[in-house]
Amino acid sequence: MATKITPMLWFDTQAEEATKFYTSIFPNSKITGVSRYAENMPMPKGTALTVSFILDGQEFTALNGGPQFKFNEAISLVVHCRDQKEIDHYWDRLLAGGGEPSACGWLKDRYGVSWQVVPTFMMEILESEDHARTGRVLQVMMQMVKFDLAAIEKVARG
């Protein structure tokens, strides 16, 4: 194991399908292992139990644990994007097949996982000592669903 902390995502029965979806979207991504349910286990024999995978260098594990737990916005995965082209790419791909846009760069994919598709400079703006600039930018960003970098940069410049 290369990292000390690996996020685990609990799915009902879609862990393998979801990991194939995610690894098709992000570069430097792959499924690294699959364990399967055996006879006399809670799911049919051969169903993926866990799927180990890497998304753009970050290790994850997906679990088919049943319907007991659902994803919610209390945890989200943040995708830092360099430009509008990247924002559009990840936004569109993560929404594909039944995802739902939310607000302020947030969306839920078709599996219910929450994502934030944000510009890389967002934390720089939020942590800035220029509180007037931060306030202007936040006011505009809070009105957006998918981020429009040109509009954000215009407001940031004053």
Same domain, 113 and 153: yes
Same domain, 63 and 78: no
Same domain, 85 and 111: yes
Strands (E) in 5-154, as ranges, are 8-11, 30-36, 48-55, 58-64, 76-81, 100-101, 106-108, 114-119
Structural domains of the chain, count: 2
- Summarize pLDDT for 110-130 with one digit per residue, the tens: 999 999 999 998 888 888 899
Q: What is the pTM of this model?
A: 0.92
Share of the chain above pLDDT 70, in %: 98
Same domain, 60 and 98: no
Q: Whole domain around residue 53: which residue ranges?
A: 1-69
Same domain, 96 and 157: yes
Choosing from 43, 69, 95, the residue where a domain stops is 69
pLDDT for residue 3 is more than 80: no
Same domain, 104 and 138: yes
d(CA 66, CA 64): 6
The CATH number given to whatever domain includes residue 91 is 3.10.180.10
Sequence-separated (6 or more) residues with CB below 8 Å from residue 119: 80, 81, 82, 87, 147, 149, 152
The CATH number given to whatever domain includes residue 42 is 3.30.720.100
pLDDT for residue 2 is more than 70: no
For CA atoms 50, 36, 69, 115, the dihedral sign is: positive
Same domain, 75 and 147: yes
Same domain, 76 and 59: no
Share of the chain above pLDDT 90, in %: 90
Query: How much is the average pLDDT of 2-19?
Result: 93
